Amino acid sequence: MIRFECDDAALQRLYDTAEARCRLNLKDFGGDRVLVEGGGYEKIWLETQPMGGEMYALRDMEAAKNNSALFMRCQRADGRLPGSIQCVDGGIEPQFNKLQGFCFPDPALNMYYLLGRDPHWLDALRDCLAGFDGWLWRTRDVSGDGLLSAFCVYDTGEDNAVRYGDAPCWWTDDAPPEGYAVVPMASMDVTSYSYACRETLQRISLLQGRPCEAETWAKKAAAVADALRKRLWDEARGALYDRDRRGETVDVLCHNTLRCMYWGSVSPAMAERFVRDHLLNPAEFWTPLPLPSVAANDPAFRNAPENNWSGQCEGLTFQRAMFALERYGYEKLVTRLGRRFLKALMDGGCRFTQQFDPFTGAPSRVGLYSHAPLAPGSDEPSQDAYGPTLLSALGYVERLWGIGLWMGEVRFSLAGGLPCRCRVEWRGHRYALESDGARAVAIADGRTVYDSPCGVRAIADADGRLLRVIDIE
């Protein structure tokens, strides 16, 4: 259970509306309640819904668990995970025609903690990740140079991206495609899927008391990161670039280095370089509303309002970015980004669309499917319950003025400027946050954890023992 109240009427409306719209995305999948992506996407997708479910866990633990468990349950015997799962006439249909991103290992591991450190969950996740990592290297190691390949556009979820050229949208075969200009493409994303598997398997091994196994997975993860740096990192330009089927650089400055920060596959020095030179560059990714999919000054940039990963800001990018930046210690930047994103949503009338104009912050009014409802006063379909945007709104509020649970820790975020109150109940614990906008107090089970001026995040264990304090402003 989670409750948030604040003295800003517009922000409270945004928060309450996001919660209400999220409830519209709860669906029955063959007897299991799940949180679908929404906004016209009625499936659960590997790139969004394990992460989305975990972010929704304090509101619906059953749906959160199912959003990861269904992918593990539908894994093929050879280790491949479905890119998406749909429900047709009450039956579950896993789809193996794309990889569709991989925001799965961290959310699934956090579910272990949220479910009360269930050892059976940990066993299942270990087997799942080891199986998928093995499948990746058996089928996607096309060139033998330590990099893994994307075979189709939907392997990385970059619908209609210019940089994919004539690549097919789908690909069902384990053999690489032939006759295309770009694919099979040596992919920073797909290579990072393996890194994420191996780094998470290292952590699982430590949790299970297997230090030798943990060391083995750590070495395997390091080998992936090393290949990524040596073969796809451009030191002169400070970013990662994929390579096409001929080994030539796909010369498009896309935001995907930030995605690799989500998976943890880049070094702190590489992350610092990308953030400094590109992410915070107003001509590239720090536009009035930040995080276009492709740098705004790149020839491949397209400010297209339809589902297109060649330009406009994506709700899913905002969702991944908070985790990516926190992984590398950029909590202050998360606060800046969150304030801009929340303001854009409020200025746009609480429209939770998939995409936003990076120059105006306006929500794109073109819906995903023709049967989407019409926007009031418009003849264009609208999206208004797109899950990643909804959960990003709730997630940034949490990271500024709320309480979150992450890998066994409780995070009390005490940003300034907003009188607010937050309550969380979880497995017999009661956590609270009280702020007058200048000073805030964090409370666990009736005891004060931290009392200080705003601008920090107090991190405690589940019993409320203070572990550390970090600046977020």
In a domain, 311, yes or no: no
* 363 vs 365, higher pLDDT: 363
How far apart are alpha carbons 349 and 419 in whole angstroms? 22
Is residue 371 over pLDDT 90? no
In a domain, 38, yes or no: yes
In a domain, 322, yes or no: no
In a domain, 433, yes or no: yes
Cβ atoms of residues 401 and 342 within 8 Å: no
For 147-196, write each residue's pLDDT tens digit. 999 999 999 999 999 999 999 999 999 999 999 999 999 999 999 999 99
Token match 């929704």: residue? Answer: 56
In a domain, 186, yes or no: no
Token match 């770009």: residue? Answer: 182
Enumerate residues 6+ apart whose C-beta is below 8 A from 142.
149, 176, 184, 186
In a domain, 471, yes or no: yes
Q: What is the mean pLDDT of the chain?
A: 95
Q: Which domain holds residue 103?
A: 31-112
How far apart are alpha carbons 66 and 268 in whole angstroms? 33
For 312-353, write each residue's pLDDT tens digit. 999 999 999 999 999 999 999 999 999 999 999 999 999 999
Is residue 261 over pLDDT 70? yes
pTM as predicted:
0.96
- What b/e string do you get for 224-236 counting C-beta neighbours within 10 Å, with b at 16 or more? bbebbbebbbeee
Is residue 376 over pLDDT 80? no
> What pLDDT is recorded for position 15?
98
In a domain, 441, yes or no: yes
In a domain, 432, yes or no: yes
Is residue 40 over pLDDT 80? yes
Amino acid at position 2, single letter: I
> What pLDDT is recorded for position 369?
46
Phi, psi of 425, rounded to the nearest 5 degrees: -120, 130
Q: pLDDT grade, residue 373 (50/70/90)?
A: very low
Q: pLDDT grade, residue 375 (50/70/90)?
A: very low
The pair of structure tokens assigned to 230 is 């040596």
Phi, psi of 13, rounded to the nearest 5 degrees: -65, -45
User: CB neighbours (10 Å) of residue 9?
Assistant: 8
Which residue, of 78, 112, 146, is where some domain finishes?
A: 112
Which residue, of 86, 112, 138, is where some domain finishes?
A: 112
For 74-102, write each residue's pLDDT tens digit. 999 999 999 999 999 999 999 999 999 99
Number of domains, the chain: 2
Which residue, of 66, 90, 112, is where some domain finishes?
A: 112
Q: pLDDT grade, residue 408 (50/70/90)?
A: very high
How far apart are alpha carbons 68 and 373 in whole angstroms? 30
